[in-house]
């Protein structure tokens, strides 16, 4: 039986399969075939693989020593589409980025330094470098700690992530269209005010009312509202075309389902945390947001989406800045109210060289190694004689 070594890690509010780059075939089509086999895609239950039948658990991280002098690790993220044979490599996952440092340390790719090891990570999807500061003890990444994040039960070791060097993944600038806000014509919706901002992952923002979200909905009912998400996909598809992910917005879901993100924002108000059932107070957040990608609602909030939302919030004139609390504008910390709680990001945007520069973009996550071992592939997935083929 053909098999490959993998590690399952929870990073932030996502869970993914981490695998050494040299475990996978170099040929892109064969590599995609192997990854789909590992996850059990396409199948809405992913019953014949390791996928969890949810966009937050159908993710792969491919990691190897960096080929760059300014990085320790090269990291490629793949969103494994559940119902179609596709691994979307168009964006990064910030939550799973928090597991890259611990993986690299535990796998011997980075020399452990106590009490904190700094890991410079080159993300091949966005061609940007992010930096992780990972707690270390006895030569291994620490997972135990007292830091809690909304959307994950219990506590863990605090991992700092610095995304300040991740602005301009598409066109080299925070504002790819050159405008903080514009009114655009979207077929099926009419005129919509949007802001397109590019930090960590490019994102198109609109106010929640544009797609019919009031902020008072029960989250389960909101997820089931197909009309709301039909509109959300129309806006995301517009962004995909403008940013060059696709040539024709009508093909956005087929060709680039994960990128860009679309985010819908509201002013701070009370709402119910769908995980705990408790009420989140509007005074504790600086704005509210819901993120849509890969034709699914994020049940918490993407870290890369957090970075981009924080950056957009600090740019005067964006639709995000318009709903932001005055406290956040003063303090430089944006507390995003998402469906599973609150996620804070420290962010600073300043003019530099005639453009806006992302000077600070930092947040904190936890990560935990759950499993390491071998995954068995379906017979014939790897051709005979393939250098990656390992048999039982």
| Predicted confidence (pLDDT) per residue in 13-43, tens digit | 999 999 999 999 999 999 999 999 999 999 9
- How far from 231 is each of 188, 213, 310, 316, CA to CA, in Å? 8, 11, 24, 26
Of 227, 185, 235, nearest in space to 207 by CA: 235
Percent of the chain with pLDDT over 90: 95
Interatomic CA distance for residues 52 and 44, integer angstroms: 9
SS3 182: strand
Query: pLDDT class for 390, splitting at 50, 70, 90?
Result: confident
Say if strands 73-80 and 116-123 run parallel, antiparallel, or are unpaired: parallel
From CA 257, how far away is CA 131, in angstroms rounded?
Answer: 27
CA distances (Å), origin 129, targets 100, 199, 328, 369: 13, 12, 26, 23
pLDDT of residue 51: 97
Q: What is the pLDDT of residue 383?
A: 83
Mean pLDDT value of segment 375-385: 87
Mean of pLDDT values over 206-220:
96
How much is the pTM?
0.94
pLDDT band at 1 (very low <50, low <70, confident <90, very high): confident
Residue 233, helix vs strand vs coil: helix
Cα–Cα nearest to 36, from 55, 58, 18: 58
């Amino acid at each position: 039986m053909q098999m490959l070594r993998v590690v399952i890690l929870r990073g932030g509010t996502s869970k993914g399969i981490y695998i050494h780059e040299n475990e996978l075939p170099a040929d892109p089509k064969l590599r995609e075939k192997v990854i789909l086999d590992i996850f059990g895609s396409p199948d809405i239950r992913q019953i014949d693989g390791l996928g969890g039948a949810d966009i937050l658990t159908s993710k792969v991280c491919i990691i190897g020593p960096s080929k760059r002098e300014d990085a320790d690790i090269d990291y490629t993220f793949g969103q494994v589409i559940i119902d179609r044979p596709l691994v979307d490599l168009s964006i990064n996952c910030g939550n799973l980025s928090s597991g890259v440092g611990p993986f690299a340390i535990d796998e011997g790719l980075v020399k452990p330094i106590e009490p904190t090891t700094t890991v410079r990570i080159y993300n091949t999807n966005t061609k940007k470098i992010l930096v992780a500061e990972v707690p270390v003890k006895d030569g291994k990444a620490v997972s135990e700690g007292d830091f809690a994040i909304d959307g994950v039960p219990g506590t863990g070791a605090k991992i700092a992530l610095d995304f300040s060097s991740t602005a301009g993944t598409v066109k080299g600038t925070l504002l790819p269209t050159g405008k903080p806000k514009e009114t655009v014509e979207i077929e099926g919706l009419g005129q919509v005010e949007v802001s397109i901002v590019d930090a960590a992952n490019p994102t198109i923002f609109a106010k929640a009312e544009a797609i019919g979200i009031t902020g008072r909905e029960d989250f389960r009912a909101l997820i089931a509202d197909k009309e709301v998400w039909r509109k959300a996909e129309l806006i995301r598809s517009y962004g995909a075309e403008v940013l060059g992910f696709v040539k024709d917005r009508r093909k956005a879901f087929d060709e680039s389902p994960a990128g860009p993100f679309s985010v819908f924002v509201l002013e701070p108000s009370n709402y119910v945390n769908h995980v705990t059932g408790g009420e989140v107070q509007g005074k504790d957040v600086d704005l509210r947001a819901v993120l849509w990608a890969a034709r699914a609602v994020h049940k918490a909030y993407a870290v890369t989406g957090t970075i981009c939302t924080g950056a957009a919030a600090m740019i005067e004139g964006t639709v995000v800045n318009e709903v932001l609390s005055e406290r956040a504008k003063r303090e430089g910390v944006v507390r995003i109210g998402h469906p599973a709680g609150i996620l804070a990001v420290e962010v600073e945007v300043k003019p530099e060289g005639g453009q806006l520069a992302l000077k600070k973009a930092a947040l904190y996550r936890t990560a935990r190694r759950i499993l390491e071992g071998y995954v068995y592939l379906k017979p014939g997935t790897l051709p005979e004689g393939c250098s990656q083929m390992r048999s039982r």
